[in-house]
A and B are shown apart, each in its own frame.
Chain A
């Protein structure tokens, strides 16, 4: 397998013309290495789904190119057969059963195997409801079916756009475990677009954050989240402690007994020494890293 699963090079996409022109994607470049879960984040309207549709050759970019496994994707259906995708909410033929929907999709791809359909239905927890027409399915059931449909062709690359939408907490947990299993046990690559930042933080190896059609931050999840750390300090008296440190660091109170200081682990001894020298009682110092949610909000606000 090529080391790089997805290469997106300077893509732009404009919809409409003149005053009604909308720039959905603007010079977006990213590279997704094979064999990892790659998170693709962005606020509503940032261009995530348009990018995914361009990767899948559903939309032609105004400019730029997409390569999958080292080959250009444009009108390359043989290459696209290595990709399974759930794009912008699962859809199905409402008058067919869940199983029949999968059969039709598998036949359309030329890889129909009844045994595989049954095992996928079991994998996504839909085996017992597969023979009902999908018009009666809940959003969560459709999502599960959509994930099974994405896996029909035994793809090397799985693109999942909000796969946990409509799932109950247990379903979300199952989905997260499934996504990790696809990568860790089956060696696939998963490109995951999600609004559930907690979920992305738990399962993604790398993330890209996009805003207004551009990548504004990209990198290893752990590295990004430890880029900016803070110390939580419990001390007495609190106002004096904050006043002692504020000339050197930014401090924010956290209730009546503690405060946050924008500082890293290596600065902790110096901080404790300063406080002790000023006669302040220090009860606890803890290092805190940002959550992905905080990081995301900060990055998108800076980007705006």
Chain B
């Protein structure tokens, strides 16, 4: 399994253009932003004063990065990366060379594993760089960077950060699944990226559609179906981690629907992942490689 993992890893990082824009952008982008901020602090007294008077905390900085990767823009990069990785074999007609060497399922699932590891490493490195780098910027401005790390503080903060990381990772995996499924169906990087993005963004408006359908059908309970979609459940897991309470948008509140427990939402997301990966793998397993 190490060999097959390394093969995929080398393919991904061997495509330097793709790696630069879709993987290295996380740590390098963060370093660049910090560099620009440092430059502003060094060159401008106003900047130094602003940072000195209101210095960011490392907790805020580390949390901020997870919010960025969890946003639609952040997910765009994950979707594009996944589409590239899955569609590359079609694009370069490489499946015909690979499939006689390994079972289809191994090769296909290996892509999810490698992508998962890469995305996780990229996100974690981005968060760590932001946490440490912001300290350097605050130091340059002559401010105090805190709060001081104590066992008690870590006990409070680490679960919150871990929860954010989990949500970002799961969201990235869901987006990867959409891209993989779209690739297997369309064999095209562009089509897969567009379709996966449409689904990812489209999922955000599902509550609105359900609300509208509920009004049309005079059945407001239709909105309860929101609870089964990954988007809501990821938001719910994030809300439990941040505030200790579930995510309850007004339309659910008006129906008297309680937010599910974080564990239940996690289960829903895992089921979604299993279904999406299973569907993509099943289709790929039956597919004729005719080109």
A residues whose Cβ falls under 8 Å from a Cβ of B: 15, 50, 53, 56-60, 75, 77, 80-81, 83-85, 87-88, 91-96, 100, 103-105, 107-110, 112, 149, 153
Interface residue tally of chain B, by bracket? Answer: 20 to 34
- A85–B98 alpha-carbon span in the complex (Å): 10
Of residues 99 through 131 on chain B, the ones whose CB sits less than 8 Å from some CB of chain A are 99-103, 107
Shortest distance in angstroms between A105's beta carbon and chain B's nearest beta carbon? 6
Shortest distance in angstroms between A113's beta carbon and chain B's nearest beta carbon? 11
Report B10-45 CB contacts with A as 1/0, cut-off 8 Å: 110011110000000000000000000000000000
- A94–B94 alpha-carbon span in the complex (Å): 11
- Residues A58 and B95 in contact, CB atoms below 8 Å apart: yes
Shortest distance in angstroms between A47's beta carbon and chain B's nearest beta carbon? 12
> With contacts A93-B11, A103-B10 known, is A58 near B288, CB below 8 A?
yes
Report B77-111 CB contacts with A as 1/0, cut-off 8 Å: 00000000000100011111111111100010000
Q: List 21 A-B contacts (CB under 8 A).
A: A15-B290, A53-B290, A56-B96, A58-B99, A59-B288, A60-B286, A77-B100, A77-B102, A80-B100, A85-B96, A85-B100, A93-B15, A94-B92, A95-B14, A96-B11, A100-B14, A104-B10, A104-B14, A108-B4, A108-B7, A109-B101
- Residues A77 and B103 in contact, CB atoms below 8 Å apart: yes
- Residues A91 and B97 in contact, CB atoms below 8 Å apart: yes
> With contacts A58-B95, A93-B11, A94-B92 known, is A105 near B101, CB below 8 A?
yes
Q: Which B residues lie within 8 Å of A103 (CB)? A: 7, 10
A15, A60, A81, A91: the one within 8 Å of B101 (CB): A81
B4, B17, B96: the one within 8 Å of A107 (CB): B4
B4, B15, B16: the one within 8 Å of A110 (CB): B4
B residues whose Cβ falls under 8 Å from a Cβ of A: 3-4, 6-7, 10-11, 14-17, 88, 92-103, 107, 286, 288-290
- Residues B14 and A110 in contact, CB atoms below 8 Å apart: no
- Residues A107 and B3 in contact, CB atoms below 8 Å apart: yes
Shortest distance in angstroms between A304's beta carbon and chain B's nearest beta carbon? 25
Q: Which A residues lie within 8 Å of B94 (CB)? A: 91-93
Shortest distance in angstroms between B42's beta carbon and chain A's nearest beta carbon? 38
- A84–B96 alpha-carbon span in the complex (Å): 11
B6, B15, B92, B101: the one within 8 Å of A153 (CB): B101
- Residues B14 and A107 in contact, CB atoms below 8 Å apart: no
Q: Which A residues lie within 8 Å of B102 (CB)? A: 77, 108-110
- A204–B102 alpha-carbon span in the complex (Å): 30
Closest residue of B by beta carbon distance from A87: B96
- Residues B88 and A93 in contact, CB atoms below 8 Å apart: yes
- A91–B15 alpha-carbon span in the complex (Å): 16
Q: Which B residues lie within 8 Å of A75 (CB)? A: 103
Shortest distance in angstroms between B106's beta carbon and chain A's nearest beta carbon? 8
Q: Which A residues lie within 8 Å of B16 (CB)? A: 95
- A112–B6 alpha-carbon span in the complex (Å): 11
- A93–B87 alpha-carbon span in the complex (Å): 12
Counting chain A CB atoms within 10 Å of each CB, the highest count among B3, B93, B100, B286 belongs to B100
A56, A93, A107: the one within 8 Å of B92 (CB): A93
Query: What would 18 more interface pairs be, CB under 8 Å, given A87-B96, A108-B7?
Result: A53-B96, A53-B288, A53-B289, A56-B100, A57-B99, A57-B100, A58-B95, A80-B100, A81-B100, A85-B100, A91-B94, A92-B94, A93-B14, A93-B15, A95-B16, A100-B14, A105-B7, A107-B10
- Residues A88 and B14 in contact, CB atoms below 8 Å apart: no
- A282–B88 alpha-carbon span in the complex (Å): 69
Q: Which A residues lie within 8 Å of B6 (CB)? A: 107
Closest residue of B by beta carbon distance from A100: B14
Q: Which B residues lie within 8 Å of A93 (CB)? A: 11, 14-15, 88, 92, 94
Shortest distance in angstroms between A59's beta carbon and chain B's nearest beta carbon? 4
- A60–B99 alpha-carbon span in the complex (Å): 13
Q: Which A residues lie within 8 Å of B88 (CB)? A: 93
Closest residue of B by beta carbon distance from A61: B288
- Residues B97 and A58 in contact, CB atoms below 8 Å apart: no
- A107–B10 alpha-carbon span in the complex (Å): 10
Q: Which B residues lie within 8 Å of A56 (CB)? A: 96, 99-100
Please provide the 3 A-B residue pairs with the shortest distance between their CB atoms, ordered closest to farther. A109-B101, A107-B7, A58-B289
- A105–B101 alpha-carbon span in the complex (Å): 8
- A212–B288 alpha-carbon span in the complex (Å): 20
- Residues B14 and A96 in contact, CB atoms below 8 Å apart: yes
- A77–B105 alpha-carbon span in the complex (Å): 11
- Residues B290 and A59 in contact, CB atoms below 8 Å apart: yes
Shortest distance in angstroms between B27's beta carbon and chain A's nearest beta carbon? 21
Shortest distance in angstroms between A7's beta carbon and chain B's nearest beta carbon? 18
Q: Which A residues lie within 8 Å of B4 (CB)? A: 107-108, 110
- A87–B247 alpha-carbon span in the complex (Å): 54
Shortest distance in angstroms between A48's beta carbon and chain B's nearest beta carbon? 13
Closest residue of B by beta carbon distance from A75: B103
- A60–B4 alpha-carbon span in the complex (Å): 25
